[in-house]
Structure 1
């Protein structure tokens, strides 16, 4: 009976640690990619409009390859 209790306790602790670790990884990955990504060919006029919005902290254009 004590073995089952120790096993359950170890399982609960393991899950708690992994859930905390998942949250940290998610936050770090979020720093690499923004909250919003706009795609298209005519975004040069859109960037100044976004930069003038007080709710937006930063705008960064980037290019990708196919």
Structure 2
């Protein structure tokens, strides 16, 4: 993927599926951004457009203490 190149149409849809798979597999947005040479904001936007439920900060699920 060329850094900074605009991605639209079918290519954007394909990328969204790939990033969604990575994110739902446990990769962080920052890791995906680094690996794809894209910004955090770009990856966040693509995931949001793809309907991904984003994890909270830190990625850990918190359970209430009894």
Specify if TM > 0.5. Answer: no
Larger Rg, first or second structure (1 or 2): 1
Q: Highest relative contact order (Cα 8 Å, sep 6+), 1 or 2?
A: 2
Query: Normalising by the residue count of structure 2, what TM-score does the alignment of the two structures yield?
Result: 0.27
* Greater helix content: 1
TM-score by length of 1: 0.27
